[in-house]
Amino acid sequence: MRTTVTFEDDVAAALERLRRARHAGISQVVNDLVRAGLTAERQTRQPFTQSTSEIGLRIDVTDVAEALEFLEGPDHR
Q: What is the pLDDT of residues 29-73, one digit of tens each?
A: 999 999 998 888 777 788 999 888 887 777 777 888 888 888 888
- Sign of the Cα pseudo-torsion (56, 60, 64, 67, in order): negative
pLDDT at 63: 86
Instruction: Give the confidence band of 22 by pLDDT, cuts at 50, 70, 90.
Output: very high
The structure's pTM equals 0.52
Average confidence (pLDDT) over 18-27: 95
pLDDT at 15: 96
Orientation angle between helical segments 26-39 and 9-22, nearest 10 degrees: 100
